[in-house]
Amino acid sequence: TKRGTEDLALFGGPPAFLRNRRVGRPNQGDRERFWERMNRALDNEWLSNMGPLHDEFEERVAQLAGVRHCVSLCNATVGLQLLVADLVPGAEPGDEVIVPALTFPATAHAVRWLGLRPVVCDVDPVTGLIDPDQVEARIGPRVRAILGVHLWGQPCDVRRLEKIAESHGLRLYFDAAPALGCTHESTPIGGFGDAEVFSFHATKVVNSFEGGAIVTDDDALAERARKARNFGIGAGGRVEQLGTNGKLNEACAAMGLTSLDALADTVAHNRANYEAYLSALDGIPGVRAVRYDPRHRNNHHYMMVTVDERAAGLHRDALLDLLRAENILAQPYFSQAIHRMWQYGEESAASVPGGFPHAETLCEQLLALPTGPGVSTADIEVISEVVRAAVAHGPEVTARRAGLAGTTGDAHPAGAAGE
């Protein structure tokens, strides 16, 4: 049990876990089935270029997402790039795509990589999702598309965004990287807007080592994406358009299928963990769980909390250090808003009076806690107890952490300020 600061590993106590509990531990499924599939691929001597495992994976993802087409890819970033490229040649360099301020860099980079400009807009202060009012406010003459993000598997306000896109003649895409197996009300994520993109990165709810997919009901768009991922080669073997190499290989498809086999169990486990966290964290001052809207189904792959320093008595980063010392590898998803990255500030935020306050606050406060099949409800009791002890001694933890930073030469800014 962790009662006083001296019990905390950061200050010399024994760590709460000997083996780490972490965010992003891959959901691998049944290893035997994976090797069976790998052996099949090796026996077939067909390792890439739309092999049988790849086809099976596409079929199953399309079915799960309730769409006609799944175009699987080597990762989601390439998927986003292919969608932005699909705006060209209609679009010209310097044309714009609206993106939320709170997302992974890939969302904005995919736009910029193709020579278009990401136009950042603020998010809802509670859900962190792109705010349709802010989207409308950011629509100018050069905007060509809206790229929403289903953050932590929560659906964007798809109906309003569809209306906005339609009334302004814009394409509407969704970065659904974290949202496989989630719904908007009872409709699976995958079929909204012109197209959506899933990620199957190792850290996602379904893992294919690296992987992604464009999903859509638009036959022509799917056809263009299929060619685009394979050097622009059409069905007859002739190059018909610009393309790249975005294919998902058979080893990745084997992992993806095996991870997909386990999806229902994974989500059920995650959901029980989410409920356990909600009750175990209840009443800790300044620590608020992000509650998913019960009208939609979430895959519960992310257990998000915000840490309000004024109420908790310690900053999110202090809690993060403290948890890590206990072998609880939480993650600050996300701690840098898009307009704080690289040169996106000068390119976008500077033109908006008041900036993007909701995204800023969330980036200061967000923390993803470990969940997934490797984390049990008993673990969650322990993790929550550490959080409770840290907050109970918030000011002391902050002061002692500052002292530690002074003596160890740690260059953390909070430590330096505390000295």
Residues of this chain that interact with ligand T4K (CB under 6 A) are: 22-26, 75-77, 103-104, 106-107, 149, 175, 177-178, 199, 201-203, 212, 329, 331
Of 23 and 225, CB closest to ligand T4K: 23
Q: Which of 328, 376, 313 is nearest to 10 (CA)?
A: 328
Of 254 and 402, CB closest to ligand T4K: 254
Of 5 and 207, CB closest to ligand T4K: 207
- C-alpha pair distances (Å), 167 with each of 136, 265, 305: 11, 41, 36
- Helix, strand, coil % in the chain, rounded to nearest 5: 45, 15, 40
- Rounded to a whole number of angstroms, the minimum distance from the CB of residue 206 to ligand T4K is 11
- Rounded to a whole number of angstroms, the minimum distance from the CB of residue 120 to ligand T4K is 14
Residue number of the CB atom closest to ligand T4K:
24
Q: Which of 223, 254, 215 is nearest to 76 (CA)?
A: 215
What three-state secondary structure class fits 291?
coil
Of 190 and 212, CB closest to ligand T4K: 212
Of 67 and 177, CB closest to ligand T4K: 177
Q: Residue 64 in contact with residue 176, Cβ under 8 Å?
A: no
- Rounded to a whole number of angstroms, the minimum distance from the CB of residue 313 to ligand T4K is 26
Report the amino acid identity of residue 350: A
Q: In the numeric block, which tokens belong to residue 202?
A: 């190792």
Of 74 and 280, CB closest to ligand T4K: 74
- C-alpha pair distances (Å), 353 with each of 139, 342, 356: 15, 20, 9
- Rounded to a whole number of angstroms, the minimum distance from the CB of residue 277 to ligand T4K is 17
- Rounded to a whole number of angstroms, the minimum distance from the CB of residue 323 to ligand T4K is 12
| Sheet (strand 366-369) strand order | 287-289, 303-307, 366-369
- Rounded to a whole number of angstroms, the minimum distance from the CB of residue 101 to ligand T4K is 13
